[in-house]
Structure 1
């Protein structure tokens, strides 16, 4: 099973692209700032290079998990001990991969699993944090919505293109 690592780098960029749109004042930025109790001057503080750089690094880490969640063949490869062990795997593994090595490797399938990951993984974590931080449901839904959309797109890119 070949992996297109360019897809991982492109998918990681989408956290920044979607965030730029999602948190802009014309979309949810104004509501988010009010609910987070911050103002535009607060956003000018800190090193933007550091913030965007670390965001990209963390996004690359997320792509690894999204890959495992969207590309089911990863599980089959894991069952034989990972990529180094493929050559010594039983013939049944080669037959399985010949039959199913590209099954469900589509943008649509990746988007589905990305969406499910956002809804059933990211949303609950954000909601738990928001509840303990005494944040509003608007705040929680803005962040959760961002991650649901972002993971949907990341899943589509990684599964369909990788």
Structure 2
């Protein structure tokens, strides 16, 4: 843990705010609000607390991505057939981020949404956000080793 790039982890965690601003703002904000039944007025209440908690949780998530793609090198060198550091690229991190989103985040999000009887559009918006977000976080921490 002595070589952890804490700045990369912090930047990656903060990137969730930028992506979220775009995703739940100009890109899919109106559709998301319609699917959740949340009004703009209601969305504004308690925003600082929600943002603060979400960044802490994003930091935990990005640390998981970091541990699985950077600390472990993704895979042992003998499986890649080359030195592990050749895989410390933005693109390779994106792949690990997407895999994490698809195999960890998506099953949880979809299961909850199904039991909450949410629409398919709601599921696509939220799962899409986490796929993009985990991809960017994975890219940042993997490239910034």
Find runs of 4+ consecutive structure 1 residues off by over 2 angstroms. Answer: 72-76
Which TM-score applies when normalising by structure 1? 0.78
Whose Rg is larger?
1
Find the aligned partners of 1:139 and 1:11 in 2 and give their Cα distance: 25
Work out whether 1:65 is the aligned partner of 2:48: no
Gaps in structure 2 of 5+ consecutive residues = 77-81
Residue 27 of structure 2 corresponds to: 27
Gaps in structure 1 of 5+ consecutive residues = 77-98
Q: Is the 8 A contact 2:73 2:87 kept in 1?
A: no
Q: How many residue pairs get matched?
A: 138
The 1:74–1:149 alpha-carbon spacing in structure 2 relative to 1, beyond 3 Å, is closer
SS at match of 1:135: coil
Across the aligned residues of Structure 1 and Structure 2, the Cα RMSD in angstroms comes to 1.9
Which TM-score applies when normalising by structure 2? 0.87
SS at match of 2:87: coil
Q: Is the 8 A contact 1:122 1:147 kept in 2?
A: yes
